[in-house]
A and B are shown apart, each in its own frame.
Chain A
Amino acid sequence: MKRLHLERLANPQLLALVAVLLINWLLFPNFFRITWQDGRLFGSVIDVLNRGAPVAILAIGMTAVIATKGVDLSVGAIMAVCGAVAATMVVAGYPTPVAVIAALAVGLACGLWNGFLVAVLDIQPIVATLVLMVAGRGIAQLITEGYIVTFNDPALIFIGTGSFLGFPMAAVIALVLMLLVTLLVRRTAIGLFIQAIGVNRAAASLAGIHSRMLLVLVYALSGFCAAIAGIIVAADIRGADANNSGLWLELDAILAVVIGGTSLLGGKFSIPLAVVGALIIQAMNTGILVSGFPPEFNLIVKAGMIILILMLQSPLVGTVMGFFKRDTRQAAPK
């Protein structure tokens, strides 16, 4: 029984995460050093959790979207919009909870808009979400009037930089969200329906699944996740940066989902593994920072690592590995 458990843990994503962390350790021996400081944990590994949280949160929503054979390119822009909403509202004197709820509602509304375009108007997801990807940043700039809206609201700042039981608040939020959404899709039939739509929407509809409503829900979830990530990022720097908040993070989120083993062609998905994918990406980023490589190599190093990880996951390598595994198993009794 125990052995079975170990085998389940030994999936390519976790192995890749461990490998990246070990490489970081080789490049920077203090990588795993964690100290207790000012009532919280402090160290590079904690940074990975903290910095990886926004992409991990995006990846939670993105996983569901991609599982339906869609994609949501607008999450980065939605982050900027929601960060802008939260920041301008606290600056305007609204209570923090009101500002946060308003920002979440705006994210949800953006997601519903995407869902409407995809599910009701039948626009291809990549095109439908491109609309908000382009327009969203403009909307965010309108809200902030081009300024970086800086705020000093302690409650809002706590969301980005506070800690809970010593762990960064952002990481705690990501973990809770991951558990909630995973439970939601696995303990209800929603997960099965999402997969069915992703595998074959026509067949799923004929089998009586409300594919439209589900698609709207999935994009709404993605918008909601983007809102949370946007609030965290704004709270972290104590300001809403409409130009840069969430810039290109949609691509990191998609990459995290793909590393997590969910196919862009839809179907089987795993939210926890997508979160692991986000941590792998962040572990590489943090590793590059502490390693002291010149910045010109950042993208090359990252690309090389990603190619390696995706290759390890490819069916071909799986077959080869399976072959070796079987080989050793057969050899054992002799």
Chain B
Amino acid sequence: MADGDYVLEARGVLKIFGNHIALDNVDFGLRSGEVHALLGENGAGKSTLIKILTGAYQPDGGSVHVDGIEVSLDNPLHAQTFGIGTVYQEVNLLPNRSVAENLFLGHQPRRFGFVDFRRMEADARILLAHYDLHIDPSSELGTHSVAVQQIVAIARAVQLSGKVLILDEPTASLDRNEVERLFDVVRGLKAGGLAIIFITHFLDQVFAIADRVTVLRNGRLIETRPLDALSRTDVVRLMLGKDIAFSGATDVEPSETPDEVLLDFKGYGRKRSVLPFDLTIHKGEVIGVAGLLGSGRTEVARIMFGADPADQGEVTVNGKPTSLRSTSDAIRHGFGFCPEDRKAEGILGDLSVRENIVIALQGKLGWFKALNRDEQLEIAGRFGEAMDIRAASLDMPVKLLSGGNQQKVILSRWLATDPAFLILDEPTRGIDVGAHAEIVRTINRLREDGMAMLVISSELDEVVAYSSRIVVMRDREMVAELRGRNINPGVIVQAIANNTDEAVA
């Protein structure tokens, strides 16, 4: 790996937001004629690294080199002049303008000071032919499929930059055939010597197209390696940070005589969201849910909670057949749900800590049995103390609290409703160590008190530590259920990666 090989290189890049280190001394090198996959779970630092490489962010340390020469990229437009172009997940072109205009916007061929439409369309036709795309350049971009729009976006980016192409989750909204078509284009560009960075959550696609892979985790570089030396399991292990040899099994004793059944899902699922699954949940049981991002973990939670109601299968609560058509149905049956995206779906930012804590209980009580201020303060105070919420006042807006304290507020919100079944989606993501420990302690305490829980987490150590059982999601399907000694990170990683030869019994 001689330095001179790299078209684009980041050396020891450091990026700090506030007191959070987003990228810590990361090296990254890109060669021409390669497809380089950039992998990592949410918050690993992928997008921060991309933004530094395209000039959207300035690094706080380290340097960026183009063709071995150190450069300072002021903004994406500036990066373009060094030959670096980007295509994002959502096509950011103008759907109501023509394909040709989108290709040449900002540098249209001109004649006597006016846009020369005829030449522009002729140029567009030639350009598109390189991509085997035979569409009318004067047609509106928005009338074409997302795949075609992506290819137009790629054509534009390559046309403008021509050295490095960054594809940020370009396949997220494409179907299988469209992905293939896009990959043909990518292979063609690679053969033409372009250097390509490919970001995706789909491992299959990484193995289908990438030459090398770089894995980031928690802002650190874990590994850069040629892909042919790696198995799927290796990649998942790198991403999740679990050594396959590690076998710290759960310390939760599987009770020989399980408590009574609380919930029983049979063939439960929702079209285009989660394939039907069977799951029985007992009182006093924590079901851990493992799987990569986009594997259908959150979707399972939302279906169970009635936020996106199931369209197939049945569920019984305490043995009685029930329908969970809405969140209020679920709440009436004693469900609670702490969503993954705390800011967008969890907290009511401008409202006070007190109001945030009582809101679900008040929702359960209805419009006319209003808790008065004193009752609200009493409830908020009780749970605030039990959860150790650090707030200057219960009347301050919850948005001013730290992430960990916000999570405790949302947990308190549900505990105030005295739930029988609590769904926690990534309850410890992005929160400080103290709050993290507090939440794990709470999960254990609640389980001992007989509450049933479903906990989704990417932190395998953590899931292993508190789960009675673990279900594994892959490609929107519940693929494995692990119990007893099988609850250890190694087995989980294998189940997530699932090579048939490594399959878990």
Question: Known pairs A189-B368, A208-B364. 12 more at Cβ < 8 A?
Answer: A187-B370, A188-B367, A189-B365, A193-B363, A195-B350, A199-B348, A200-B344, A206-B307, A208-B360, A209-B363, A267-B351, A268-B351
B362 near A200 with CB under 8 A, answer no
Give the docked Cα–Cα distance between A199 and B327 (Å).
Answer: 18
Is residue B168 within 8 Å, beta carbon to beta carbon, of the partner chain? no
Q: B305, B345, B348 — which one has the most chain A CB atoms within 10 A of its CB?
A: B348
Which A residues from 180 to 212 make CB contacts under 8 A with B?
Answer: 187-190, 192-193, 195-196, 199-200, 202-210
B351 cross-chain contacts in A, Cβ below 8 A: 195-196, 199, 267-268
Q: Min CB distance, B504 to chain A, in Å?
A: 33
Give the docked Cα–Cα distance between A268 and B346 (Å).
Answer: 18
Give the docked Cα–Cα distance between A204 and B307 (Å).
Answer: 12
A210 cross-chain contacts in B, Cβ below 8 A: 328
- Between A and B, 9 residue pairs with Cβ closer than 8 Å are A189-B369, A192-B362, A192-B370, A195-B355, A196-B351, A203-B339, A203-B344, A208-B363, A268-B350
Which B residues from 38 to 87 make CB contacts under 8 A with A?
Answer: none
Which B residues from 320 to 334 make CB contacts under 8 A with A?
Answer: 327-328, 331
Give the docked Cα–Cα distance between A282 and B398 (Å).
Answer: 37
Closest Cβ neighbor of A214 among chain B residues: B367
A188 near B363 with CB under 8 A, answer no
A208 cross-chain contacts in B, Cβ below 8 A: 327-328, 331, 360, 363-364
Closest Cβ neighbor of A200 among chain B residues: B348
Closest Cβ neighbor of A268 among chain B residues: B350
Which B residues from 346 to 377 make CB contacts under 8 A with A?
Answer: 346-351, 355, 359-360, 362-371
B349 near A200 with CB under 8 A, answer yes
| Neighbour of B327 across the interface among A189, A192, A195, A205, CB < 8 A | A205
B348 near A204 with CB under 8 A, answer yes
Give the docked Cα–Cα distance between A210 and B326 (Å).
Answer: 9
| A interface SS class | helix
B367 near A190 with CB under 8 A, answer yes
Closest Cβ neighbor of B362 among chain A residues: A189
In the complex, per-residue mask of A38-53: 1 if CB is within 8 Å of any chain B CB, else 0: 0000000000000000
Is residue B408 within 8 Å, beta carbon to beta carbon, of the partner chain? no
Is residue B413 within 8 Å, beta carbon to beta carbon, of the partner chain? yes
B371 near A189 with CB under 8 A, answer yes
B337 cross-chain contacts in A, Cβ below 8 A: 206
Give the total of B residues in contact with A, Cβ under 8 Å. 29
Give the docked Cα–Cα distance between A223 and B347 (Å).
Answer: 31
A-B CB contacts (within 8 Å), total count: 76
Closest Cβ neighbor of A266 among chain B residues: B350
Q: Min CB distance, A122 to chain B, in Å?
A: 15
Q: Min CB distance, A121 to chain B, in Å?
A: 18
B344 cross-chain contacts in A, Cβ below 8 A: 200, 202-203
Q: Min CB distance, A206 to chain B, in Å?
A: 6
A199 near B345 with CB under 8 A, answer no
Q: Min CB distance, B299 to chain A, in Å?
A: 14
A187 cross-chain contacts in B, Cβ below 8 A: 370
Give the docked Cα–Cα distance between A193 and B346 (Å).
Answer: 15
A206 cross-chain contacts in B, Cβ below 8 A: 305, 307, 327, 337, 339, 345-346
Closest Cβ neighbor of B376 among chain A residues: A192
Give the docked Cα–Cα distance between A26 and B370 (Å).
Answer: 47
Q: B307, B345, B355, B363 — which one has the most chain A CB atoms within 10 A of its CB?
A: B363
| Neighbour of B345 across the interface among A190, A192, A203, CB < 8 A | A203
B360 cross-chain contacts in A, Cβ below 8 A: 207-208
Closest Cβ neighbor of B368 among chain A residues: A188
Give the docked Cα–Cα distance between A202 and B349 (Å).
Answer: 12
Q: Min CB distance, B187 to chain A, in Å?
A: 40
Give the docked Cα–Cα distance between A210 and B363 (Å).
Answer: 8
Closest Cβ neighbor of A267 among chain B residues: B350
B331 cross-chain contacts in A, Cβ below 8 A: 208
Give the docked Cα–Cα distance between A15 and B451 (Å).
Answer: 54
In the complex, per-residue mask of B83-96: 1 if CB is within 8 Å of any chain A CB, else 0: 00000000000000
Q: Min CB distance, B370 to chain A, in Å?
A: 4
Give the docked Cα–Cα distance between A207 and B339 (Å).
Answer: 10
B359 cross-chain contacts in A, Cβ below 8 A: 192, 196, 204, 207, 209
B339 near A196 with CB under 8 A, answer no
A189 near B367 with CB under 8 A, answer yes
Q: Which 10 pairs from chain A and chain B are nearest by CB? A: A208-B363, A208-B331, A189-B370, A267-B350, A199-B348, A207-B360, A199-B350, A189-B362, A202-B345, A209-B363
